[in-house]
A and B are shown apart, each in its own frame.
Chain A
Amino acid sequence: EDQVTQSPEALRLQEGESSSLNCSYTVSGLRGLFWYRQDPGKGPEFLFTLYSAGEEKEKERLKATLTKKESFLHITAPKPEDSATYLCAVQAGQGGSNYKLTFGKGTLLTVNP
């Protein structure tokens, strides 16, 4: 069974204080690792997909990295508007264009001004 574990469950930062969120996974045949942002009462908003160990992707203050067992979401100089729950999900073992995802519980990030 595919498993995704995110840590910490909650993280409180001061504006400008950089940090990292962790996503560790156990899957049979990783096809992709996804990061999403979720605001309260909203749907997950796609951020990144990583496909192979060593891959990195960046978007504004966010950078996602991938190893064979975990992924990190690095947040550089965060702003209050970065406050949200960040979700990690894996796509594994499926053929073709099936994007069935297994999610972690998320990390609730709060950035104080």
Chain B
Amino acid sequence: EPEVTQTPSHQVTQMGQEVILRCVPISNHLYFYWYRQILGQKVEFLVSFYNNEISEKSEIFDDQFSVERPDGSNFTLKIRSTKLEDSAMYFCASRASFGPGTRLTVT
């Protein structure tokens, strides 16, 4: 059964640095999503992506964030200048299937 995959599993970065989180969603799905989960808190919607453009974004998804589908398989989330409060698990999803997540630690 097709699965959503994500890399890396854990990323440590310094405050102010740029990070790119990568996902390979399920190929025949139309919508792709990024969610985040701060430790001990609920899973929060960040952005949905359809037909190579942002379909909807939350208040969390400010100008520091961007998403891209650079080729036919990868889907990326970029954080331009990371802050301490960006430390969280980031999940990619397509339809109702979630990837294993990337744990981002900002120091």
Contact = CB atoms under 8 A, between A and B. Distances in A.
Interface of A: 34, 36, 41-46, 49, 87, 89, 96-106
13 contacts: A42-B100, A42-B101, A43-B98, A43-B101, A46-B96, A87-B42, A97-B29, A98-B48, A99-B95, A100-B33, A101-B96, A102-B45, A105-B41
A78 B18 CA distance: 44
Interface of chain B: mostly helix, strand, loop or mixed: strand
Interface of B: 4, 29-31, 33, 35, 41-45, 48, 50, 55-56, 89, 91, 93, 95-101, 103
Interface of chain A: mostly helix, strand, loop or mixed: loop
A36 B48 CA distance: 20
B33 A43 contact: no
Contacts of A45: 98
Contacts of B45: 100-102
A20 to B, nearest CB: 20
Contacts of B31: 97-100
Contacts of A106: 42
* In the A-B complex, the 7 residue pairs with the closest CB atoms: A43-B98, A103-B43, A105-B42, A44-B98, A43-B100, A43-B101, A99-B95
Contacts of A43: 4, 91, 98-101
A24 to B, nearest CB: 15
Nearest to A98: B31
A102 B33 CA distance: 12
